[in-house]
Structure 1
Amino acid sequence: MVQRFISLLLVCFICQNVLGQNITVDSQSFTPQQLIEDILIDSDCIENVTVTNVVTGNFANGQLSYGYFDGTGTTFPFERGLVMSTGQLFRVPGPNTTLSDDDAPGWDGDNDLEVALNETNTFNATILEFDFTSITSQISFRYLFASEEYQENNSNTCIFSDLFGFLIRPTGSTDPYTNIALVPNSNTPVKVTTVHSGIPGPGGCPPINEQYFGSWNGANTPINFNGQTEILTATATVIPNQSYHVKLVIADEFNARFDSAVFLEAGSFELTRDLGPDRLIQANNALCENETLIVDATIAGNNGYDWFRDGVLVQSDPVGCTNCGTYEITQAGTYNVEINLDGNCGAIGTITVEYAQNPIVFNSTLSECDFDQDGLTTYNLFDGEIGLTNNNQNLGIVNFFLSQSDAEMNINPIQSPTTFENTTQNQIVFALIENISNCTSIAELTLSTSNNSLNIPTLEACDFGDLDGITTFNLDAVSLAIENQIPAGATINFFTNEADALSDANPLPILFENDSPNSQTIYVKVDDGNSCYAIAEVNLVVSFTPEIMEDETIYYCSNTFPETIRIIGGVVNDVPNNYYYQWQLNGQDIEEDTIEIEINDVGTYTVIVTHPNGCSSSRDITVLPSEIPTIGPIDVNGTDNINTVTISALGNGDYEFALDSEDGPYQNDNVFTNITPGFHTVFVRDKNGCGVASEVFSVLGFPKFFTPNGDTQNDFWQLDGVNFQRFPNLQVFIFDRYGKLLVTQDSNSSGWDGTYNGNLSPNTDYWFTANFGDGRTFTGHFALKR
């Protein structure tokens, strides 16, 4: 039992040790020339290999940032090769338990890398540059990118990345470099931010080119980086026998933190022959059924070609063969070609080919309506698409053709398939149909005709608004009228003319406003599936609508209550007896149905005038209250010609004012100024016609002189604006300049004649005091002139 337990422990230890093995690195055993020529390339077909420049970090311990790596016996995808890092080489091997995070004094970035990748601010650039010559037109090598910037479930992965590039151009050229370290089938540089799986949480990001991301690395990973890509291939097209310059460069960006590395597989720098893009269903470029593809691997020279499908030799063309180097692919698989170049070295090429199924299509019939029953009409051939494809949304019609042969060769398509006019009854046209893989099939479309009759009543609508013969018709009424005459589930559309109906062009809205006054004919089309069931005329008639007066506002004089006033329905341009009437007061029906009614209530009266055809018009008659005014106190402020008279008018009306004449002129202001002394009459009139009220008032004043000479002009002096009725207790006392009382007058006095005790008073000034008997007094002086 003890022996078995020890054996089990030993087995577990061995398993753990194998699984936990890490790659090893070596910066001393190989010169840069050997790393490039003997490790990376290792081929006699690549000539004139010369390393021209090397840049590494100047570390105090003498470490380099590049060197040889060996992954034999580990889980790392490459057994051996060249590694370049942005940190010290000894930090590259696993386990992944420390942060690779180095810097070195004066370790700059690289301008060529920044230009090629359109980036800035690089640091710690490791560079290996070399020249080479190829005898073929294409070279490639395999690589893998790893980085501490890969941080699982951390949004930094979405933001930060170190940079690397494989830059190439003709030797001696000053043209910009071409970067061949790209995401497959794109021009996107490979970086942490362009190749990763999804990052969840705040600041996270969706996966980008996830199919090219290898893994997040745990502690037992054979390299000391948090994540890595899948194995990728860099490919360049070159001119045979011309020297090219390659610059392999990797650098930190923005700062020296979180190092990265790129691993280049030993011996993978190969001559290749481009056989064209893979033909894949996912890429929508797969081959179609019965389609063949001739791939060409021909390279000038006395060469041999061995072709393999899924690793099995399918064709061998020996060295020295003529008219060889091509292969016709007739079935799916991964095809490889090994090219023996003049018996000395080789090149390879590969292509993967998949076959997509041709579309499954169906012969179908498209029925369109035929007005004259001659079997000829106009078709929108695309209306047959549902039947031809069985409504498969992944299929589409390329075009229609008059013959099977034209469809097979995709020539002479029908030029106007949306307005195609058949030339024979039940004519057959041919549809070329493709799927998303661009594979095609042909189906027949038989063109038949039909025209079922529909019983459609005239659609009438009242003419509202301007009564111009234009109104809005609800075409749903037609749909309801024919729903029992058509197949269940049929679709109904309306058009202004027959041509639009046939081609389904410019369908009308359900709420349609006619553009031909008073009447118009439109067309209803009923489709049963993808076929026309019927097209019929729909007659639209704009029904006569009563023409009546506009809304108005009138007034009822409440002072005349219970007298009534008359309001009318207001029909114009016709005999009022031709209509029906309905009256409302404040929105409530009243028992009135006559042309006119007598009313003595205020409010809003609505009259609805209806023609025998059912069309109605209405108008509102707003009746507002008003009344004759009641004149209140009249305020006279001032005497003689300097005064203000304010009239107070009471009542529910809109009033205007006039002085001394009922005929006016009237003013809106109730204030009059500088009225001559004496008696006046004010007239207050209701603007709404409810009457005029008047009142007499007086303005006190006196003559400044009088001339008692018997010529009947100014022979007497007395106050203006007084009489017995207004001032029954008035007493006026007249004094000479010495204060002697000469005369006493009252309201009935005819005035002073200028005498005292029968003698003529002298020409001079005299003074007066008027007592009104209510505490008010009025004083002044005047002159006597003979």
Structure 2
Amino acid sequence: MKHFFKLVLIFCALAISLSVQAQYPTDCIDAVIVCGNSTVNLNVSGIGTQELNNSNTCSSRENNSIWLQVSLVTDGTLGFTLKPNSSSIQEDYDFFVFGPNVACNNIGQAIRCSTTNPSSAGLVNNHTGMRATSFDTAEGPGPDGDSFVKWLTVSAGDTYYIVIDRPIGNSGFTLEWTGTAEFSSPPVNASNPIVTPLNLEKCDTDLPYGDGFTSFNLEANTPKIKGAQNNVSVTYHVSESDANINQNALTSPYTNSSNPQKIIARITNTITGCFELADFTLTANLGPNFQAPSPLQECDTALDGNSTNGRTTFKLNSKNPEILKGQDPSSLSITYHESLASANTSSDTGVNPNSYYNSVPYQQQLYVRIEDAANKNCRNITTLDLIVNALPLAFNTSILQCDEDGVKDGRTIFNLSQVEQDLTGNTPERSVSYYFTNTEANSGLGSTIDGNAFKNTENPQLLYAKITNDVTGCYSLAQLRLEVSTTSAYDAVLNHCDDDGEEDGHYTFTLSDADAQVLRGLPTGLELFYYQTYNDALLEVDPLPNSFKNAIPYSQTIYARVENSNACYGISEVVLTVFEMPNVQLVAEAIYCLNTFPEPITLYSDVIDPTSSTYTYDWSTGETTSEILVNAPGSYSVRITNDNGCYKDRTINVSPSNSATITDINISDASQNNMVTVLVTGEGTYEYALNSINGPYQDEATFENVASGFHKVYVRDTNGCGISEQQISVIGFPKYFTPNNDGINDYWQVDGVNDRFQPKTTIYIFNRMGKLLKQLNPLSKGWDGTYIGEALSSDDYWFSITIQDGRTLKGHFTLKR
């Protein structure tokens, strides 16, 4: 007999796992169908309905039994040897055979049976069964017989019931089939785990979202499992127990009960009842995990020409880290959309996340699409509220105050807080801070002014009041003018750019440059000395040299003492100010793609923190804008000057690059390791990919183990100057084909030949004896495995191919039926 597969059923374990309503193979109607002439390894436990009363001549009944159903597909003999798993002579197994072709409700008398007790009969082992060397058809009970009876002579189409019973012992048994007759073969799982995998994964798109439960179409796997088999049915079950006894079959759409969940498919031959089991997994993809973003708030601005229109520019992707909640940014794709419909469309890239100018004033809701980078169908959508906060009102104000400090120098103490209601329009939830310059007020980095006790530094003096909304943080500026009576000496200001090479806010001033300011309108013949502190000037100690480097960076006040015949005429303040230089990267690099000529690229002045000052630009090209367009490699420079007259020169070196020119492609094909080498020229640095413009790309120009057929080679400039491509053909041929008209591998043909590549190739096919069977047109479907209209048998066949380029290839392939 042929052995096809092994059927293993442990019925003790099965009985534990099945539900109360389950049926067991302890009765004829529930008999296990045995297929494939396999060795059967079984166990028995208990009985169902007692069916052996008065049905046999071996004087026995069911104790611990199992029913088997055997159907034959060929004529011949049928026997078996039953071997208990325990070799103990006390282990006693009996058997009974009914048939052929009887009904369970009318099984008649057993045509074979053995109830011999091996211990009582003095046998050397506890085996039993049917064999060719025995002649009796029934033996037992007790010491009668040798446990073996004559085997059966059977015909194709006959069906028999075999009852295995264990009156004594507790071990399982093995049933080894003998004889020449063959059983029905079970169906098979025709799916291929690589080509037609059974595992089903689906995004959780059923309400409620995110619970891990969604509906699946189990029957989508049926054609994969059945393949080309006929008379086969497939049912689906939640357990192997249900599948084995064919109960509680599932229907689609089916909602998984756990995630992931294992499903058992029962593949049954509808004619013989033989079955096989296969399993696969259902997985409900929950979609990306995310955190709903908090509202994104910005203050209204005058940068768009209107500081009260409720519109400004938002950097939406500043919310990405909050949404990602610590996840790998490359695992998720986040896009922003003005409508839910746009967010629901995976092909819609949404609005610019780096610079979005809100279309709805003051408050607008956007939709955020968070999708799995590896599976665009798995996505979640949330909302992001954009809020534009109005700027607070601010009103220019002035304070006129007498010189009440006893020193007639035009300096006095001001209590700035007394005019805060005037500055804010008496609006609640407002804070006021004071600055010397507009720039300092906007940056918030200027000198700190004590508003309760401020002594003016010049007369009159203009301060800047910053009015901040305590809730939103938005601010507006107002001017605060301070004025006191005039003095006999005048304050002065010395300014200089921080261009001594260190940019630390320090500069060596020539103090005499302030003389004219201090002495303006005063009598001639006065002397002037400079001191670091007011007390030094008052006491005439430690006068400063004419070349003085400020000790306090960026802004320091020193004191000028005016004397008349060594008598103090007056003391005034001299403010030394060091202006910051433009914050610029002095040297930059750029690429110009020669293949885009005459299309230009943009060169930027790239001032860091450009809002802190107003700049002018003088390019080497004569242009005066912050950025210029160029369409040629070279060196370009720009002088960037801030509103204090301080400047720096920036140089941008534009290097050439280009998309690749594919000069040749060397192909080594029709081998175990097909190789493709790409030869290119061009000014760029290149990387290479095969069959996908999106890569992956590699630095090497050679590809190994290239499949035969048609491919496309891509060459990408690493500087971003474009991708070149070219179609190629790699010659090869399949090792086998199966001309059974199932639509798969029905023809044998050379790969890599079409009306464009090698169309004049000649192909000859021979049998083992060298007889020419077919001269094959290289542009046809291929050879269908026939000769003069007759289908040829499964065998190896030989070919000789003369490729249009002059190469000759020979080899063989297999025809399988």
Q: Normalising by structure 1, what TM-score?
A: 0.36
Structure showing greater radius of gyration is 1
Q: Relative contact order, CA 8 A, sep 6+: which one is greater?
A: 1
Q: TM-score, normalised by structure 2?
A: 0.35
